[in-house]
């Protein structure tokens, strides 16, 4: 079997790699699907945006899946062509079968989740034993996310976003929460909700360029220069993670009982001496 795409990323320093966000994420998920012994049942969380904006990417995953279900909270989104089942819902509110999906995935969803514990409980309930959740989100340890988190605390994030990305905000925008994008938080909540220890990888293409236009661009160049020198993978912009639900435990065998005649009457207890 070919090398594990996720593990390759986890072992490497992935700054300015020759790919793009959607292609790389699709490569990672496709590799997880192809490692299943039979075509898996797959759940696309936030299926209307994310990688679905590149029409070829989700169809690559559909070709590897037995079923591909999708949930999307935006009511204006029609059922994407790559899904076999579809609901307008968040994961927490969706009606999904229990212990059913072999793989779930999401791209740029987790930074918008307001209640990660509720999300993880719903995820754990719908994943089959041994099932995996593959996701990509913005890394809390990156300077851009730290700046954005500070601005959110000051309630300045939406104002700043409209100044630099007005069209994006007007077309499609869910406010960020940043409650599940630090490895320590992800690990703690994953354990609390019954998952194994998560695995992480980090990627950055050319920094958050769209958010540093005009007079802010020199700061971006400086930070990119530092990335080429320091080579600290854990502070790159995009955090990839795999959460795995443990395998089902084998049924415990009942204790062996001594042979007995099924119809033999029970002897009465002996009387104590008078």
The domain limits of the chain are 5-140+177-207+232-243
Which one-letter DSSP state was computed for residue 9?
Answer: H
Cα–Cα distance between 227 and 238 in angstroms, integer? 14
CA distance to 51, 146, 236, 242, 258, per residue, from 251 (Å): 40, 47, 44, 27, 21
CB atoms under 10 Å from CB of 216, counted, come to 10
For the whole model, what pTM was predicted?
0.85
The helix/strand count (H/E) of the chain reads as 9, 8
Specify the pLDDT at position 3: 87
The pLDDT assigned to 214 comes to 82
DSSP string, 164-213: H-HHHHHHS------SS-SHHHHHHHHHHTTPPPPEEEEEESS-SGGGS-
Secondary structure, 3-state, 41-88: EEEEECCCCHHHHCCHHHHHHHHHCCEEEEECCCCCCCCCCCCCEEEC
| Of residues 148, 157, 48, the one with CA closest to residue 107 | 48
Query: What pLDDT sits at residue 50?
Result: 67
Helices (H), 76-174: 116-126, 143-153, 157-164, 166-171
The pLDDT value recorded for residue 165 is: 53
The predicted pLDDT at position 255 comes to 44
151 near 164, Cβ under 8 Å?
Answer: no
| Fold adopted by 5-140+177-207+232-243 | Rossmann fold (3.40.50)
How much is the pLDDT for 203? Answer: 97
Q: CB of 45 within 8 A of CB of 71?
A: yes
Quick check: 119 and 91 in contact, CB under 8 A?
yes
| pLDDT of amino acid 155 | 63
pLDDT along the chain (274 residues), means of 10: 91 93 95 97 90 80 97 92 96 98 96 96 98 97 87 59 53 75 98 98 90 84 92 96 93 45 41 46
């Amino acid at each position: 079997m070919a090398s594990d795409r996720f593990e390759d990323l986890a072992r490497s320093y992935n700054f300015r790699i020759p790919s793009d966000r959607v292609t790389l994420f699709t490569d990672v998920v496709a590799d997880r699907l192809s490692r299943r012994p039979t075509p898996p049942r797959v759940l696309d969380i936030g299926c209307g945006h994310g990688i679905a904006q590149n029409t070829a990417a989700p169809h690559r995953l559909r070709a590897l899946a037995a079923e591909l279900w999708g949930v999307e909270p935006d009511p204006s989104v029609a059922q994407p062509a790559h899904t076999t089942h579809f609901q307008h819902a968040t994961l927490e509110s969706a009606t999904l079968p229990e212990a059913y999906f072999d793989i779930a995935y999401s791209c740029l969803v987790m930074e918008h989740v307001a209640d990660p514990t509720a999300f993880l409980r719903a995820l754990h309930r719908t994943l089959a034993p041994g099932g995996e959740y593959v996701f990509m989100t913005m890394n809390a340890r990156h300077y851009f996310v730290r700046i954005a988190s500070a601005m959110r605390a000051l309630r300045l994030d939406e104002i700043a976003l409209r100044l630099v990305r007005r069209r994006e905000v007007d077309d499609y925008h869910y406010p960020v929460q940043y409650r599940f994008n630090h490895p320590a938080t992800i690990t703690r909540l994953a354990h609390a909700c019954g998952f194994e220890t998560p695995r992480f990888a980090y990627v950055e293409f050319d920094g958050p360029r769209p958010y540093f236009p005009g007079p802010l661009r020199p700061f971006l160049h400086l930070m990119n220069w530092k990335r080429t020198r320091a080579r600290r993978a854990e502070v790159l912009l995009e955090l990839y993670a795999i959460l795995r639900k443990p395998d089902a435990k084998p049924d415990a065998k009942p204790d062996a009982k001594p042979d007995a005649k099924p119809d033999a009457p029970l002897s009465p207890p002996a009387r104590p001496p008078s």
